[in-house]
Structure 1
């Protein structure tokens, strides 16, 4: 959601209608906006340009003379690389940095199996993945295995082969990866992943697709369910 033009919340030269009430309701917004901008090393003009606001409008937000709407809060959070909760001065719960073995159950999709290897709700998502042998991979559109589907989407991906051999297509080039090999690539490069050994392949996989479900990844298929076994 992108903030709209600098229209202001109400009539008058400063959009004054409702401004005093807004300042009382959200007292932490103004100082947080100033602090986050300074922390990002941005001038008022540079931050306003990124947020698609006028410097005067952003200045009024930072001094508490104008109420930010929810779309504007979302846009400012993206500008400063933070969350609306931080803009409002809320203290987020500290996430547990440790993911224990035998924790979250395996999830499966068309023969692919996934185990959570990192914390949820972060900019990077980490998984441990078992890629099925080519003959047992789920069938996708037109009868092709899901590993043969070419994916293109925003983000970055990193993988490390633990066991077996992995076939990775990046653009027009095919790479054969052995245990210990890794790859790090831009997800806008057309790509597909599949096992190249009869026993399948096991890998660590890290991606930046925060909003994606397993079905949205370049790995397995279109349906998922949770199981209780672990690797």
Structure 2
């Protein structure tokens, strides 16, 4: 079986006292083992790295990936977060066909801390797309750091984007694409506010968890 550089070969089954909530033999979670291994490899993670993030031992994760043990629901939730997916995908459930067209006015805009969000993409996608009205000088203009990538394109007004120690002012037509583990801050640079298109890779995040507004979201 192929392994990543520095990754040990899967171990044979053995009693594993540090794995509460798992069963010993393959049972009623079919085909989850190869999906776990495939998703980990797609993320470029070794057994040690993935196990550490999930709070498991490498030996136990290896047994999950070879079908010698079955994961509990908490384990599936932890692994889904690490691999940037959903429990449904881990279990091989097929999502219903989504409408690829997002019509104007289909959903109500949502406001949080003065930021106004219009859904511009379909729900449940790995890429979440929004059209955002950014107010001038609000308390939501704070530094954020989180996993994922972000892309924004200025439609109207000017946007001040701080990335690490650098500050950029974006005019209409300008775009930015960056790793959101870089400390960043987004705000309007014009008193009339700004409008932008915003895309991020945080799986199924509600608007309250974005790097924009921080208050409780409410319908407009």
Same fold (TM over 0.5): yes
2:216 aligned to which of 197, 214, 223: 223
Per the normalisation by structure 1, the TM-score is 0.67
- Answer yes or no: is 1:34 the counterpart of 2:27: no
- Answer yes or no: is 1:158 the counterpart of 2:164: no
Cα distance 1:167–1:56, how it changes in 2: closer, same or farther (>3 A)?
closer
2:179 aligned to which of 176, 186, 211: 186
User: Which residue number in structure 1 is paired with residue 91 of structure 2?
Assistant: 88
SS in 2 for 1:158: strand
- How far residue 116 of structure 1 moved from its aligned partner, in angstroms, is 0.5
CA distance in 2, matches of 1:185, 1:58: 34
CA distance in 1, matches of 2:166, 2:78: 38
1:57 aligned to which of 57, 63, 66: 63
- Answer yes or no: is 1:120 the counterpart of 2:123: yes
SS in 1 for 2:151: strand
Return 5+ residue gaps in structure 2 as ranges: 1-13, 18-22, 52-56
CA RMSD, 1 decimal:
3.3
Return 5+ residue gaps in structure 1 as ranges: 1-5, 10-17, 141-145
The structure in which a higher percent of residues are helix is: 1
- How far residue 93 of structure 1 moved from its aligned partner, in angstroms, is 1.7
2:164 aligned to which of 159, 162, 171: 171
Cα distance 1:89–1:207, how it changes in 2: closer, same or farther (>3 A)?
closer
- How far residue 40 of structure 1 moved from its aligned partner, in angstroms, is 7.7
- Answer yes or no: is 1:196 the counterpart of 2:189: yes
User: Which residue number in structure 2 is paired with residue 99 of structure 1?
Assistant: 102
User: Which residue number in structure 2 is paired with residue 3 of structure 1?
Assistant: none
